[in-house]
Chains A and B, each alone.
Chain A
Amino acid sequence: MDKILIVDDDEELCELVSEYLTVEGFDVKCANDGEEGLNQALSDEYDLAILDVMLPRMNGFDVLRKLRETSKLPVLMLTARGDDMERIVGLEIGADDYLPKPFNPRELAARLRAILRRATTRNDENGSGEKLDVDGIQISPASRAAVLDGIDLNLTSVEFELLRVLLSEAGKVVKKEDLSQRVLERDLSPYDRSLDMHISNLRKKLGARGNGTERIKTIRSVGYIYTLV
């Protein structure tokens, strides 16, 4: 059973979510403030952490930042709905996904499964991905590492998966719908900007080519393409 850590100061909500997720087949523990959450998350006991932004003692962003210094534990952020800044900041400092709060628990369970699946695929040596070496970027699904010019890009699981898909289809347009299915494991819904957000983070980490051209181009209203020189 996958062990999930919920860090949220709303104890009643924690209880309810654990009850729901337990029925869905997860093993859930709760932490009610930032510091405790961070300690728990660093304990290596968990497969995934759900992190609220508004936390006493240490807010969710700080917890995530500290956590990312040493750990690659998958993290799903719970952000205030309608607050784009929280969403962007969360993804930027390395959350694997985010869910606006209040959330639909079914959606939460689906996201958790998707993140966990990605994490386990990567840990699985015989996993779907073969090693790729395209345009100076080496990615090896086994070690979940993407290396550009000898430097580890330090990608989150979503970014890694996005890059893997785009590179494996390098030079071809990958539709947004397909990306959403293959990477986020959910249907593309209108007005959902998370894919664009992840791509923009990925672009930032990759940087432009030496001659200034973008590596990943947006094909408006269609999808993205990893351009080949």
Chain B
Amino acid sequence: MKLFLKIFLWFLAAIALMVGVVMFITKTFQTEPTFGRWQRGARAQLSVYSATASQIYDQEGEAALRQFMSRLKDAETLLEVDLLDRDGRLFYGDATNIREFDTVIARTLASGTAELDVTTKDTPLGATSVKFADGQSYLLLIRWEPSRAPSLFFDSWLGYLRLAGLLVTVIVVCYALALYLTSPIRKLREATQKLAEGDLETRVAPRVGRRRDELADLALDFDIMAERIGSLITSQQRLARDISHELRSPLARLNVALEIAKQKAGGESEPLLERIETESNRLNDMISRLLTLSRLESGAVDVDRVRVDLAELVRDVAADAEFEAQAKGKFVQVLSADACNVEGSEDLLRSAIENVLRNAIRYTPDRSVVEVSLAANNGKAVLKVVDKGGGVPEDELPNLFRPFYRIGESRERRTGGSGLGLAIAERAIKAHKGTITARNANGGLTIEIGLNTASRASG
């Protein structure tokens, strides 16, 4: 879960719990005295009603008593009012739930005073005897509304307003707090990702604002680290580039001197001079690849956004590679090439595909076929180059794209590779936000390049 959400929810939960505890305590320890007060009040109510009823009957008669009873019934807190005579006949009221009063009636008859029953039903019941001047004795039964302590939140519009106010305040405060704690972390994370992607200019301290806490210190430390890494990498790249450039001049002179030597030399030294030429060409090739690589790694190469017909490019490079392969008695076959376009630099893509293909040709055995297939769907183009060169050990696969990485030490040298081809391909594909992976399959190595295709419409 996101840290922001965690902090937010935890604080929300803490405050909710606090409010809950306060409410619980209030309810539990405050209702008891309230209840006692209510009971005293209820008993007093009963005796007042009883006295009033007998007075009314004595002075004004039966009809007035009924009128009084119905007035009582209309009172807000009373749910039911009944009047029974000694024999249990209903003088006034509703007989439906009359049996619920049995306990309290029994108690009243026994004690002769007003009695309450708060346990049989959640509506408290009360009974008292009413004695008239003519000697008749009646029972007055009353059912009250359920008694409870007034709720803090749910009783009235004021309660709901209180609740809403509390909720809004709590949510706003928690949100602000969570935001305050997590926003610098989020910014740090963004910066770290950018740095990992190779943007060495990333700095975060100016973005975390004017805070002075551990997070601000962390941001400052991050910037110092980024600065240091940046300068290290730049100087290393510059070194590689400078070395490559400086090696060029003597190599150019060597080439010319060699040719002059050839002009002048007799037949005997011819093979040796040829050999020197081969080696110098190899050196040359390696330097130019090193330059390409360092340019790609430094991000100095702007990938221009040109539409490139990938299918055509693949066929084109494959045709060139076939030409080279045939000279070595090997073959290149394009199994499929779905029509698709990608956006990017044709030169970079060409060099990536070319390097992968030439690598495959180098390792595939004589008279075998390097298979190329390009599939496009769902906005993705996948180019597969499959050779039959026996593959590489599984745990070496990720290292294939490292410059000068040699598997089993001698392999690459024997076959005359520079050790830079796949590294260049990887950097070039990455510059196009694509993917390149290697895996063993069918007794050989399969290199798979994935690129995002450009939508047809924008062309």
Which residues from chain A sit less than 8 Å from chain B, CB to CB? Answer: 10, 12-13, 16-17, 19-20, 23, 80-84, 100-106, 190-191, 220-221
Contact = CB atoms under 8 A, between A and B. Distances in A.
18 contacts: A13-B249, A13-B253, A19-B256, A20-B263, A80-B248, A81-B284, A81-B291, A100-B288, A102-B252, A102-B254, A103-B255, A104-B255, A105-B256, A105-B259, A190-B321, A190-B324, A221-B315, A221-B319
B251 interface: yes
Given A81-B291, A191-B354, 6 more contacts: A19-B260, A23-B260, A82-B291, A105-B260, A190-B320, A220-B312
B400 to A, nearest CB: 22
A190 B323 contact: yes
Contacts of B319: 221
Contacts of B245: 80
B102 interface: no
B288 A16 contact: no
Contacts of A10: 249, 252-253
A221 B292 contact: no
B377 to A, nearest CB: 23
Contact of A12 (B253, B280, B287, B347): B253
B256 A20 contact: yes
Contacts of B321: 190
Interface string B318-335: 011101100000000000
B256 A16 contact: yes
A181 to B, nearest CB: 15
Nearest to B253: A13
Contacts of B280: 102
Contacts of A190: 320-321, 323-324
B288 A82 contact: yes
Given A19-B260, A82-B288, A102-B284, A191 B255 contact: no
A102 B316 contact: no
A220 B289 contact: no
B257 interface: yes
B76 to A, nearest CB: 91
A1 to B, nearest CB: 17
Contacts, number: 69
Interface string B277-300: 100110010011101100000000
Contacts of B312: 220
A102 B259 CA distance: 13
A102 B315 contact: no
A81 B247 CA distance: 12
Nearest to B257: A16
Nearest to B263: A23
A16 B281 CA distance: 18
Given A82-B288, A84-B347, A101 B248 contact: yes
A77 to B, nearest CB: 14
Interface residues of B, number: 32
Contacts of A19: 256, 260
Contacts of A103: 252, 255
Q: Which of A17, A190, A220 has the most CB of B within 10 A?
A: A190
B347 to A, nearest CB: 5
Interface of B: 245, 248-249, 251-257, 259-260, 263, 277, 280-281, 284, 287-289, 291-292, 312, 315-316, 319-321, 323-324, 347, 354
Majority SS at the chain A contact face: mixed
A103 B280 CA distance: 11
Contacts of B281: 104
Q: Which of A82, A84, A100, A191 has the most CB of B within 10 A?
A: A82
A157 B157 CA distance: 94
B255 A105 contact: yes
Contacts of B292: 82
A101 B284 CA distance: 9
B248 A13 contact: no
Contacts of A20: 256, 259-260, 263
Q: Which of B256, B280, B281, B291 has the most CB of A within 10 A?
A: B256
A100 B253 CA distance: 14
A221 B255 contact: no
A105 to B, nearest CB: 4
A67 B402 CA distance: 45
A217 to B, nearest CB: 13
A221 B256 contact: no
A16 B347 contact: no
Nearest to B262: A106
B374 to A, nearest CB: 14
A221 B316 contact: yes
A82 B289 contact: yes
A12 B324 CA distance: 35
The 9 A-B pairs with the shortest beta carbon distances in the complex, nearest first, are A82-B288, A102-B252, A190-B320, A105-B259, A16-B256, A221-B319, A81-B288, A190-B323, A102-B251
A139 to B, nearest CB: 29
A10 B259 CA distance: 18
A195 to B, nearest CB: 12
Contacts of A23: 260, 263
A100 B291 CA distance: 14
Nearest to B358: A191
Contacts of A104: 255, 259, 277, 281
Contacts of A106: 259
B289 A102 contact: no
Nearest to A21: B256
B249 to A, nearest CB: 6
Contacts of B259: 20, 104-106
A183 to B, nearest CB: 19
B371 to A, nearest CB: 17
Q: Which of B254, B284, B321 has the most CB of A within 10 A?
A: B284
